[in-house]
A = this chain, B = another copy of it.
Amino acid sequence: MAVRKKSDFPVSEIRRFIEPGPIVLVSSQHKGERNIMTMGWHMVMSFEPSLIGCYVWNQNHSHELIRKSRQCVINVPTSTMADTVVGIGNTSGRDIDKFQHFNLTATKAENVDVPMIGECHANLECRLVDGTLIRTYSVFVFEVVKAHAPKTPRTPKMLHYTGDGVFITSGPTRNLRKKFRPEKL
């Protein structure tokens, strides 16, 4: 796996990566400790500001790192990273440094003090803007404050988790743009 070349990407358009529902890798850092977790439960909640709701179970080691630092990076892996995704889900940041263990490149974010995963297709720098749902639902509401993605492909082949160890990979794209009413796009 190689570090991907990316450019600045409009935060209001990151639905492209999140709305299709891929498994993502969340990186976090607090007081010198860093971690990565897999996350499958998330949703777009707004374009502007660019909001994402994320479920981070309070038993995950990342939960406290994110809650205390109030920031994270959502990294979108491609289907070629399947083994790494499973490995990250199998292990705990209590025991290992996952960047080191999985040979992932920590790249520097611009607006948060959290390492991004260079090998992922897209990196979304996030700040916690609403923590009121953490206690009840383990849901963090983040604002994407900066996004990094390559110019092409428009959408990568992603992994979608279905439980029981079974993933669906992204299949063929269908462009139905001509069938949409312009105001519905």
Contact = CB atoms under 8 A, between A and B. Distances in A.
A174 interface: yes
A15 B162 contact: yes
Interface residue range, chain A:
35 or more
A133 to B, nearest CB: 8
A145 interface: no
Nearest to A17: B162
Contacts of A177: 164-166
A53 B184 contact: no
Nearest to A178: B165
A45 B165 contact: no
A82 B22 CA distance: 20
A60 to B, nearest CB: 11
A173 B89 CA distance: 19
Interface of A: 13, 15-16, 19-22, 40-46, 51, 53, 55, 79, 82-83, 86-87, 89-90, 133, 137, 139, 141, 154-155, 157-181, 184-185
18 contacts: A13-B163, A19-B160, A20-B161, A21-B21, A21-B160, A42-B43, A46-B137, A79-B174, A83-B176, A86-B176, A90-B179, A154-B162, A154-B166, A159-B174, A160-B170, A163-B185, A171-B171, A171-B172
